[in-house]
Amino acid sequence: MQHKQIGITERDHSGAVHMKTLFCLFATLLAVVQVAAANAIYDVSIDTSSLEGTNSTLAFDFIDGGSPSNSIVVSHFPTDSSFGASSSIGSVSGTLGSTATLTDGSFFNELQQPVTLGTSLSFRLLASANAPLYGSLPDTFSFFILNPTATESLVTTTDPTGANSLFAVQIGATGNAVGVYGALAPSLLPVRVSPVPEPSTTMFLLFGIAAIWAIRMRKR
């Protein structure tokens, strides 16, 4: 009788170890899925030949919609335009001459770059892809070509907000939703887009793996 009781205790202890291992496996897999879905990269190209020689201000705007945090990195800025001294509002670091980073540390974050336009603009965007939590709106990045005093747009676009952005990216909104608004034929070429898995898909995947593991442990 005593021997049987010891056997039951050993099995209970083994089951507890298996459940702990299962929980660790679940947490690790979830972390891997979240990390794999972290970033989206776009190469942007804009034909500015119709504005060649025009003094303007490029505006890179990043608006915080709520939790969680996101960021935009602007890099690879080869262009035949000539630059003036840049300025910024909110959480902005770096310059277009190397790498500029906008984060949502403030509600409104903007990098302004005075420029005499050439025939084209091109740059790369690296966007994080953290979807908004319940009760929050997506963080939004927008790009504008403004007049030299940065008070109004040099071009009229089909931007549905009426702000005349050339394009906008809603971070984590069913992936990274992109709107391109018709003026100067901007092109956004996805270099690498890591889609955010739907929660139900992720959970079913993890549950299935966990169930297979549990069945194998039980057979042992």
pTM to 2 decimal places: 0.70
Look at the block and give the residue holding tokens 């996805």: 190
Tell me if 61 sits within 8 A of 110, measured CB to CB.
yes
Report residue 202 CA to chain centroid gap: 19
Name residues whose C-beta falls within 8 Å of residue 90's C-beta, 6 or more positions apart in sequence. 62, 102, 105, 106, 107, 108, 109, 110
> Over the stretch 100-124, which tens digit does the pLDDT of each residue have?
999 999 999 999 999 999 998 899 9
Least confident of 59-63, 157-161, 183-187: 183-187
d(CA 117, CA 109): 23
Degrees to nearest 5, angle at CA 41 with 171 and 67: 25
Give the pair of three-digit tokens for residue 177: 């939703």
Burial of 213 (0-12, 13-18, 19+ CB in 10 A): middle
d(CA 215, CA 12): 16
DSSP string, 153-193: BSS----TTSS--SEEEETTSSS-EEEE-STT--EEEEEEE
How many other CB atoms are there within 10 angstroms of residue 95's CB atom?
16
Tell me if 170 sits within 8 A of 140, measured CB to CB.
yes
pLDDT band at 190 (very low <50, low <70, confident <90, very high): low
Quick one: which of 102, 98, 159 has its CA closest to 126?
Answer: 102
Residue 13 predicted with pLDDT over 60: no
d(CA 133, CA 23): 24
Residue 28 predicted with pLDDT over 90: no
Name residues whose C-beta falls within 8 Å of residue 123's C-beta, 6 or more positions apart in sequence. 43, 44, 74, 75, 76, 77, 79, 96
pLDDT band at 171 (very low <50, low <70, confident <90, very high): confident
What value does the mean pLDDT take over residues 117-136?
Answer: 89
